[in-house]
Amino acid sequence: MTNPWHLYLMAIIYVLAGLMHFVKPKMYMRIMPRYLPNHKLLVYLSGIAEVILGIGLLFASTRSLAIYGIIAMLLIFLLVHFYMLSSEKAGAGIPKWVLILRIPLQFALMYWAWTYLS
């Protein structure tokens, strides 16, 4: 275990978040912007991406690629966060202040990933 514990934490977070796309796909489909096609496929693809990128963090040979992938993924996920702010239905009953705080959280997560680049 030569990696810092917080890198393992990040990997676990992304793997678990990705697996949730398969456990509760309807929850993710409900928050998908209407202008995106094939919500179910996109939910599954994003879940696969999160799992693969989370696992990729654990290996020195794939870490940089996984980090860039995570940052790109989080940027794309901003579409969902802004969409959730756009209507009550898309907000899924989450308080508006939580939805607003999720946007800077995305950037904090990007920075956290960025700190592991060699």
For 42-68, the pLDDT digits (tens) are 999 999 999 999 999 999 999 999 999
pLDDT level of residue 1 (50, 70, 90 thresholds): low
Angle at 63 between CA 106 and CA 55, to 5 degrees: 80
Among the ranges given (19-23, 28-32, 63-67), the one the predictor scored with the smallest mean pLDDT: 28-32
Kind plus residue range of the DSSP H or E element containing 112: helix 96-114
Q: What is the pLDDT of residue 3?
A: 83
The pair of structure tokens assigned to 86 is 């756009």
Counting residues of the chain whose pLDDT is more than 90, the rounded percentage is 81
pLDDT surpassing 90 at residue 2: no
Counting residues of the chain whose pLDDT is more than 70, the rounded percentage is 99
Burial tier of 81 (Cβ tally within 10 Å: 0-12, 13-18, 19+) = middle
